[in-house]
Structure 1
Amino acid sequence: MIRIRQHTGKIAASLGALLAVALTTAALFIRHNTTYWPRARRRLDRAGFVEKSVLIDGAKINYAQGPANGPPLLLIHGQMVDWTTYMRVLPELAQHFQVYAVDCYGHGASDRAVDRYSNVAMGRDLTSFLRTVIAEPAFVCGNSSGGLLSIQIANEAPELVRKLILEDPPLFSSLHPRFINTAGYDLPRIAHEFVNSTETDFSAYYVKHSAFIGLFGDLAPTMIRGALAQRKQRPTQPIGWWYMPPAMNEMFRVLDQYDPRFGEAFYTGVWHADFDHAKALAGLTVPTVLIHANWQLDDTGTTLVGAMDDREAARAAELIDDVDFRRVDAGHTVHFDKPGLFTDILIEVAEN
């Protein structure tokens, strides 16, 4: 009887220790998922980043500027986010460059300049930003649609671009009719439907209608209900899920600052007016690094999940005269998914 009690006591103690570890791990997991942004913001402040704004032909461009620790580097984000999408790489980059990270029109604190929602018009304004604010040749790096803008800048003013870094841009895949069979089409489709509806809360509308949320299968209804309940209780706060990692929540953190009319420009094709992908790539005269991230087809085998498939990436690389092609094992936002890999590439590019 004594031995049984001793064994029972040991088992209870072991179970108690395991429970304590599980609870601690869960608490750390939740804390990591729900407080990553305030912690990242403090790191940006310590690294010396300051937010500023400038008027370019009457429209405001908001941007963050880092300390002068090296040659200038212009960072241009993709859709649905703002300059803070680079939070994981900015402190390290600030030790090697003077970083300028902009909010594109229709994002963050920049103006909703609807008449400039095209690659040519916005690219010209960013060229003016480079010429007047940075005022010297810079490394120019753009992710996704920001990569398309970077190409426009390099063709507008090649003398102002030291090197061009294209971070997984949707070359050829974002053109109609091909665009319809990509995961990237989901946001512009929803944006178009929202703009032509009587709805007023785009974040809630996106959650309810996004095919992306549907990828979570049986969990999707729970995610949608939770998000809509959040909006009802805290309508001015961004949508987030405590059980989702920062990479997921980051998509929604600044969604309230996104202008769906920007997405509609991709839906209608207005974004690509006078911007021929093949001609633009063939016209590049500056050294260019083309980063191609992971991609796959959906379960039906018809929809591209990613920015480019291998054939589109190869075609883009062949058209660029002076290209350094990098196939990387990372998600579409390489700077957020694999920050160390991203900073290594940029530092190497600058040193070479």
Structure 2
Amino acid sequence: MARVGKKAGMIAGIAIAALALAAGIALAVYVDNNRHGEERDLARAHAAGFEEKQVQVSIAIAGDATLNYAEGPDNGPALVLVHGQGMQWEDYARVLPDLAKRYHVFAVDCFGHGESSHDPALYSCEAIGQAVKAFAAQEVGGAYLVSGHSSGGIVAAWLAANDVEHVTACVLEDPPFFRVTPEEMQAPPGCFVWKDAFEVIHAYLNQEDAVDPAVYYAQHSYLFGLFGGLQPKIAAWTAAERAAAPDAHLTLAWVPHDWVRGLYYYDDFDVRFGETFYDGTWFDGVDQADLLSRITCPTVYLKAQTSYGEDGTLFAANSDEDAARVQQLIACCETTVIESGHDIHYEHPDAFAKAVNEAAGKSSGRR
């Protein structure tokens, strides 16, 4: 009997050790992915032939400026990608190798992001739209598809409406139409992006402490506040990482990457860009309904499923009612709702590539 008990104890010990080893491996994989997952995505994009470049563009409302971009191999129709606020062209890295098989991809850095010009005079939909239009004329030199994510989706819509001769198809990836002005974002029940981004940026720019903007965000984030006592720890980890590597992308290896991905490119982001959404100047001179009604090319509208927080806050880029209005205003539009976070091309690269292919196919069918 004692021998049986001893054997059972040994088996239990081996099982516990195996579980501990598995847990250790899982933790190591989790931390490694948080630290290096984005780097590996970018390495695959470079291996697929993407090269980073810069060009000078002339903008009617602001003069000359530098536009940074990545260009892939010429394997098909030109495709221009415009990232969302707080990101840069590398945000598309996960989907670039697949897109490069069928398209000649140009992924730009918007002003105030990455290596493009950081100048508040350029921080508007009109200026960015004019710049990308000039860029396409110089570097693409003909017809192109355009896709934009979030605020970049509004820029993509601007291009589809204002470069009609060259834009053959458009993909709008979860743009915040009808939730983009200060009044729209503050209308009850309120928007997540207003509370988590623009209010925080405005407060940061109006305080006197010399604190890093990423650290300030971590300390005051609406999102991190939902995690209760975890927010001070995330803020402390952010401060420690920024102090150790102020010029590096923020990773926070112990925090789920999806929680903090919005901070990843903060080292190359001018937060004054966000202030233009707080005061409404980013959208000066642009009427949303008029803009959408002037889009005549085939358009695929990718909408992340609408969700609300426990306090009623709209967590999505816009509501179902807003999305229906987008669909109604664009003459040739197909709306696809997907269960995803806001950054669809990162979370569901296959679905995003499919949307681009569908838009391209509709464009070919028209010709």
- Residue number in structure 2 paired with 1:246: 257
Is 1:116 the counterpart of 2:122 in the alignment? yes
- Residue number in structure 1 paired with 2:181: 175
Q: Is the 8 A contact 1:71 1:138 kept in 2?
A: yes
Distance in structure 2 (CA, Å) of the matches to 1:235 and 1:336 = 25
Distance in structure 2 (CA, Å) of the matches to 1:70 and 1:287 = 18
* Structure 2: segments with no counterpart, 5+ residues: 59-63, 363-367
Q: Is the 8 A contact 2:171 2:355 kept in 1?
A: no
Per-residue deviation, residues 273-308 of structure 1 (Å, max 9, x unmatched)? 11110111112122211111122122122x211111
- Residue number in structure 2 paired with 1:43: 44
Per-residue deviation, residues 193-234 of structure 1 (Å, max 9, x unmatched)? 222333442111111122122122332222112112222333
Larger mean CA deviation between 267-276 and 218-227 belongs to 218-227
Alpha-carbon shift at residue 79 of structure 1 (Å): 0.6
Per-residue deviation, residues 219-273 of structure 1 (Å, max 9, x unmatched)? 2222112112222333333332223343334322210111111101111010111
- Secondary structure in 1 aligned to 2:339? coil
Letter of the aligned partner of 1:207 in structure 2? A
Per-residue deviation, residues 9-51 of structure 1 (Å, max 9, x unmatched)? 1211221122111111211121122111221122111100000
Q: TM-score, structure 2 length as denominator?
A: 0.92
Distance in structure 1 (CA, Å) of the matches to 2:161 and 2:4 = 82
Is 1:71 the counterpart of 2:71 in the alignment? no
Distance in structure 2 (CA, Å) of the matches to 1:171 and 1:150 = 12
Q: TM-score, structure 1 length as denominator?
A: 0.96
Q: Is the 8 A contact 2:161 2:295 kept in 1?
A: yes
Q: Is the 8 A contact 1:124 1:152 kept in 2?
A: no
Q: Is the 8 A contact 1:48 1:67 kept in 2?
A: yes
* Structure 1: segments with no counterpart, 5+ residues: none
Is 1:206 the counterpart of 2:220 in the alignment? no
Indicate the percent of aligned positions where both proteins have the same amino acid.
33
Is 1:56 the counterpart of 2:62 in the alignment? no
Q: Is the 8 A contact 1:174 1:184 kept in 2?
A: no
Alignment counterpart, residue 317 of structure 1, candidates 322, 327, 340: 327
Judged with a 3 Å threshold, the aligned counterparts in structure 2 of structure 1 residues 106 and 199 are, in CA distance, closer, same or farther, namely farther
Q: Is the 8 A contact 2:153 2:175 kept in 1?
A: yes
Distance in structure 2 (CA, Å) of the matches to 1:226 and 1:97 = 41
Q: Is the 8 A contact 2:182 2:277 kept in 1?
A: no
Distance in structure 2 (CA, Å) of the matches to 1:90 and 1:248 = 23
Per-residue deviation, residues 301-351 of structure 1 (Å, max 9, x unmatched)? 2x2111111000001111111111111121111001111111122123223
Distance in structure 2 (CA, Å) of the matches to 1:325 and 1:5 = 64
- Residue number in structure 2 paired with 1:339: 349
Letter of the aligned partner of 1:340 in structure 2? D
Larger mean CA deviation between 82-91 and 227-236 belongs to 227-236
Is 1:351 the counterpart of 2:361 in the alignment? yes
